[in-house]
């Protein structure tokens, strides 16, 4: 029981820290370079503000969410990490936004680990990553973003 409480406490602290940096500012730096930052630019000239909250995502049906929670508790360990430059994408086979996220990453040649959350190991990994409510969920460059938009992914990956 103590282990279960510690796991939930860890998930809560991880998700609360991940939610603190949910706004990204786009500006043009010296020499014309595009700059993405979680702080407003010093010169005060913001070109665009990108909010990572409420991005388009596919909500998990309640039956699927309950099934994923059962699968997460039954799976002893999440899937092993592979060489993916630290980019992990949590998806399902039926999610249209997941397909868009995969296409974005493929078009830019970004290596990533695709985890199907409808498998026992995938459900456990999704839960450990703070996944709740919908897919896709991407964890990259110290950020966790649920949903997909080109602007949000551009902010994460910059010009690649």
> For residues 12 and 117, is the Cβ–Cβ distance under 8 A?
no
Residue 98: pLDDT band with limits 50, 70, 90: very high
**Domain range enclosing 47:** 2-157
pLDDT at 36: 65
Distances (CA, A) of 141 to 7, 8, 35, 153, 154: 23, 24, 15, 11, 12
pLDDT at 63: 76
Does 145 score more than 80 pLDDT?
yes
> For residues 22 and 53, is the Cβ–Cβ distance under 8 A?
yes
Any idea which of 37-41, 86-90, 118-122 has the lowest mean pLDDT? 37-41
Please, where are the H alpha helices in 75-135? Answer: 96-107, 120-128
pLDDT at 50: 64
How many structural domains does the chain have? Answer: 1
pLDDT at 114: 96
Reported as a single tens digit per residue, the pLDDT across 39-66 is: 677 766 766 666 666 677 888 778 777 7
CATH code for position 114: 3.40.30.10
Is the pTM higher than 0.85? The answer reads no
Q: Strands of 88-91's sheet, edge to edge?
A: 113-116, 88-91, 137-140, 143-146
Does 81 score more than 60 pLDDT?
no
CA distance 92 to 135: 7
């Amino acid at each position: 029981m103590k282990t279960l409480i510690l796991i939930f406490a860890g998930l809560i602290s991880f998700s609360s820290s991940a939610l603190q940096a949910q706004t990204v500012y786009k500006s043009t730096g010296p020499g014309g370079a595009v700059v993405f930052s979680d702080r407003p630019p010093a010169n005060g000239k913001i070109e665009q503000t990108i909010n990572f909250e409420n991005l388009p995502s596919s909500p998990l049906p309640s039956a699927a969410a309950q099934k994923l929670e059962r699968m997460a508790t039954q799976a002893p360990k999440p899937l092993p990490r592979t060489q993916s430059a630290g980019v992990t994408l949590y998806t399902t086979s039926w999610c249209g936004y997941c397909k868009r996220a995969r296409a974005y990453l493929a078009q830019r040649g970004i290596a990533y680990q695709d985890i199907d959350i409808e498998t026992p190991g995938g459900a456990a990994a999704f839960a450990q990553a703070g996944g709740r409510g919908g897919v896709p969920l991407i964890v990259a460059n110290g950020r966790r973003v649920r949903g997909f938009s080109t602007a949000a992914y551009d902010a994460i990956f910059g010009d690649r």
